Structure formats: C-alpha cells, structure tokens
Amino acid sequence: MIFYLLIFFLILLILLIQGTLAAVFPRYIIFPDLLLVFVLSFSFLWGKKKGLFIGFIGGLAQDVLFGPAIGLFALGKMAVAYLAASASHEIFRDQVVGPMFVALIATFAHEAIVYFLSSLM
C-alpha cells in the first residue's frame, strides 16, 4: 500500500514540475514529457501489471490537471506502458541503445494515440 501511495505522490510531483516548467518557460522551448519518461522507465523495469497501473494513474492525473478530456492521456500512457513492458523481455536493460529506441517508439506511439483520440472529440 505504501508503494502505491509513493508512486502516486511521485506522479503528482512530476506533474507539478512539468506544469511549472510549462508556465515559466516560453512556448518555443521544448522540454520532455517527464511523466512519460517515468511511466516508461518503471514499466520497462517492473513489467506489465505495475506498468499498466502506473500508466493509468499517471495519465488520469494528467487528464484531470491538464487534459482536454478525461481518458486521453490515460489510454495513451497505458498503451505505452504495455509496449515498454513487452519490449523489456526482448531487450537487455543494461544496454543504452535498446531502452532509448523503445522510448523513441513509445513517444511517437503516445503522441499518435493522443492526437487520434483528440481529433475524434
């Protein structure tokens, strides 16, 4: 139980940092989606079940705080977490190139899912 509360507070802290960076810096500066990196990292290390849970909770929190509708980021982050957890069995975690490639593909997949779902609304 403490594990899940710690993950929830980490997600809120990451969203607070991400929202603060978006407000402080001008719009033309690009900064990473810190929550997506968090979800990818933990699902890559811990597997499908915990990755899906963290992806759903993180995406839902992002939907509530910043999203145009509930469920866009939650579905995108869940799908990306599942993709990263599935790829973790095939790629060595000790190498740098494999997880970076998974993060690149997962980022494009996440943005495509969010764009597709938001265009439907």
Q: pTM (2 decimals)? A: 0.87
Sign of the dihedral defined by the CA atoms of residues 53, 54, 59, 62, in that order: positive
What integer pLDDT is reported at residue 112 of this predicted model? Answer: 94
What integer pLDDT is reported at residue 61 of this predicted model? Answer: 93
What integer pLDDT is reported at residue 95 of this predicted model? Answer: 79
Residues lower than pLDDT 70 in the chain: 26-28, 93
Residue whose C-alpha is closest to residue 62's, from 76, 81, 46, 48: 76
